[in-house]
Structure 1
């Protein structure tokens, strides 16, 4: 005769109790499954991985910002140097143009003053940061409005002449179409 195992069933709250069935798992608590019991470890692992990814992303962003800032500062430094050189060249050209007038004449004095102020502005651009350049130009314009607007007019005139001359220089005279003067063919 073979012995049959005795079945035991439990009813009610089974928290912390073992089952009489061989191989049965215990329940960790009310309304919790074995999967629920593993969640705290899984959640901690996921949050650790997310935190590590955030730190890595922040580090990469800081590196990218640092590289961008360095690149911008380099370009701004070159632009600042180019502007200062251009203003110095304009001051030299204006000084040369002033020498073509009679010494001591009004035009000679104005050209000399404009050239000196432009040279001073170029020097300020070279040694100042870009934020202070705007303030310096504003202060200069308030102290010397006639010189500032006169310089702006001269620069505008020179820019117009430069653009007009560069338009003419694109083609050769032989390539230009001939126009009739209205009195027949020429």
Structure 2
């Protein structure tokens, strides 16, 4: 084998190795891109499901407030307050259904920067409400809110 043949063979081997490395890199990049895209789509579906569930709960609370407002004396402060709260919750529910997560976070950030005390107060109220709801849900499951004779019936069986 001559020097020229060895040089050509080395160059061919180097070019082949370079192509193979490039192919492996491209396939890896495509596979990772596909995996990231799949993960992003799955996360979006989960977020959409959570948004829908939250919007339904908020809408249900708005309906309950609206019903309560209708049962109160016409024109009273309580009726107007409950009506306004119901309208606010209904608007929140609609916004939650119709906006994407990025725009909601951006709006929330802007409002928090513009009025930090209102934001902290609202966050505190949401926290208290969530804690009460959770506590009430647990108490119902355990049977604490069912009444005194419920326990005696359950114990005797």
Fold conserved between structures, TM > 0.5: yes
Q: 2:68 is matched with which residue?
A: 97
The separation in 2 between residues aligned to 1:103 and 1:138, in whole angstroms, is: 38
2:25 alignment partner, one of 30, 54, 69: 54
Aligned Cα root-mean-square deviation (Å): 3.3
The Cα shift of 1:161 comes to 3.8
List aligned pairs for 1:73-152, cutoff 5 A: 73-137=44-108
1:173 alignment partner, one of 126, 151, 155: 151
The separation in 1 between residues aligned to 2:67 and 2:129, in whole angstroms, is: 14
The answer to whether the 8 Å contact 1:94/1:112 transfers is yes
The Cα shift of 1:63 comes to 1.4
- What is the TM-score of this pair, normalised by structure 2? 0.70
- Decide whether aligned partners of structure 1 residues 85 and 106 sit closer, same or farther in structure 2, where only a CA change above 3 A counts: same
Q: How many residues align?
A: 144
- Decide whether aligned partners of structure 1 residues 76 and 164 sit closer, same or farther in structure 2, where only a CA change above 3 A counts: closer
List aligned pairs for 1:7-18, cutoff 5 A: none
The separation in 2 between residues aligned to 1:113 and 1:160, in whole angstroms, is: 24
Q: Which runs of 5+ in 1 are unaligned?
A: 1-24, 177-186
The Cα shift of 1:140 comes to 6.9
The separation in 2 between residues aligned to 1:107 and 1:129, in whole angstroms, is: 34
* Structure with more of its chain in helix, by fraction: 2
The separation in 1 between residues aligned to 2:7 and 2:47, in whole angstroms, is: 58
2:14 alignment partner, one of 20, 30, 43: 43
Q: 1:67 is matched with which residue?
A: 38
Listed one character per residue, the Cα deviations across residues 130-176 of structure 1 (whole Å, up to 9, x for unaligned) are 12223445667869x98x957974x5565344333233321453369
Q: Which runs of 5+ in 2 are unaligned?
A: 144-149
The separation in 1 between residues aligned to 2:88 and 2:110, in whole angstroms, is: 13
The Cα shift of 1:110 comes to 1.1
